């Protein structure tokens, strides 16, 4: 019997990537992981995420390459021998606010880098390319919940624009080369090993230190907070089933998330938005401390609310978020105290 090719996982030292790797290794997969280990978000925690996977070596196998996806030759070299593999592409320059001051890094990683991943998938004859998109693509839309049938032509940040560009680029490769591509629009992922530029980390650190927290939109924003374990289960389920052409797709009334080509787009979120003030109050309760809040106007590029319509992902893959916010934050706080110490 021919062995299944290893799975190529980009962004393996990132928040979501490291937890997807954990799941894959635990079920005995061979994983080839690449990551640039950039300083954005802290290099130390990225190295620690990788180190936390070491104990799974007896079940699966992880080969790591420190590679920047903007370096096409290095990406190709790291993927040598992976013909016919599944690619889970999670590497990207993340963050809406960071894109306001560092637009060049988004162009290099999210556009140039994604182009390299598409070319790699084509030349390898990849069985499936699953890639990370974002709820940010919905931009100026106000209709809730966000659905993949919605128009997404009005991004309000460069980050969002690059993620929408990824979706369009992937469709072109699905159409031209028959490359199965599935894009997942992530909605506010949180949990242990989470990004250090996100609200759970920033708020927890500040509350424990007695520092004020910056609360944009004066706390009225609502987010579809989605626990990491729920996200991982969805990513892996989708990766296991390559996209196929939709025989019902109608070019006269095209569904934006489906195609005549082997291409799909799905929302992956909790379908249960929470106001930021409720999020903060839950965190205060779990930490046993009150937050000092600096209420600020909306940040440029942010949207007032997000909520994922997940009916398609549920009906096709059985995706059902199972972690209430309070339980997810409890697990996060427990991990945070263990990793950073009681005062962070």
Residues annotated as catalytic (active site), given as ranges: 159
Q: CB–CB of 32/6 below 8 Å?
A: yes
DSSP label at residue 193: T
Other residues' Cβ atoms within 10 Å of the Cβ of residue 66: 12
* Lookup: tokens for 109: 């990683």
Is 158 strand, coil or helix? helix
Residue written as token pair 């997969």 = 29
How many CA atoms within 13 Å lie on the side-chain side of 322? 8
Residues contacting 162, CB < 8 A, separation 6+: 92, 106, 107, 110, 111, 114
Edge to edge, what strands does the sheet with 61-66 contain? 61-66, 30-35, 7-10, 86-89, 128-134, 181-186, 263-268
Distance CA 323, CA 230 (A): 7
Residue ranges of E strands in 126-223: 128-134, 181-186, 189-190, 212-215, 222-223
């Amino acid at each position: 019997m021919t062995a299944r090719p290893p799975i190529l996982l980009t962004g393996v030292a990132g928040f979501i990537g490291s937890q997807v790797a954990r799941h894959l290794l635990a079920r005995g997969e061979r994983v080839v992981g690449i990551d640039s280990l950039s300083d954005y978000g802290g290099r130390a925690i990225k190295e620690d995420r990788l180190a936390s996977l070491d104990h799974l070596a007896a079940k699966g196998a992880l080969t790591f390459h420190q590679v920047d996806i903007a370096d096409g030759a290095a990406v190709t070299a790291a993927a040598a021998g992976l013909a016919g593999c599944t690619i889970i592409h999670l590497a990207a320059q993340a963050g809406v606010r960071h894109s306001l001051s560092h637009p060049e890094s988004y162009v290099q990683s999210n556009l140039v880098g994604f182009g390299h991943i598409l070319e790699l998938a084509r030349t390898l004859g990849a069985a499936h390319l699953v890639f990370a998109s974002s709820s940010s693509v919905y931009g100026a839309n106000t209709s809730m919940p966000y659905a993949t049938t919605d128009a997404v032509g009005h991004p309000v940040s460069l980050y969002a624009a690059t993620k929408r560009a990824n979706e369009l680029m992937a469709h072109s490769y699905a159409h031209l080369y028959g490359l199965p591509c599935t894009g997942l629009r992530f909605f506010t992922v949180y949990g242990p090993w989470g990004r250090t530029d996100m609200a759970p980390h920033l708020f927890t650190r500040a509350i424990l230190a007695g520092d004020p927290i910056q609360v944009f939109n004066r706390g009225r924003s609502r987010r579809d907070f989605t626990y990491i374990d729920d996200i991982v289960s969805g990513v892996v389920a989708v990766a296991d089933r390559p996209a196929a052409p939709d025989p019902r797709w109608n070019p006269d009334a095209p569904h934006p998330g489906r195609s005549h080509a082997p291409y799909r787009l799905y929302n992956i979120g909790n379908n249960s938005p929470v106001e930021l003030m409720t999020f903060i109050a839950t965190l205060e309760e779990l930490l046993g401390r009150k937050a000092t809040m600096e209420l600020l106007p909306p940040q440029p590029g942010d949207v007032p609310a997000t909520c994922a319509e997940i009916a398609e992902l549920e009906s096709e893959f059985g995706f059902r978020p199972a972690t209430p916010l309070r339980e997810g934050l409890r697990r996060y706080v427990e991990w945070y105290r263990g990793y950073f110490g009681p005062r962070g």
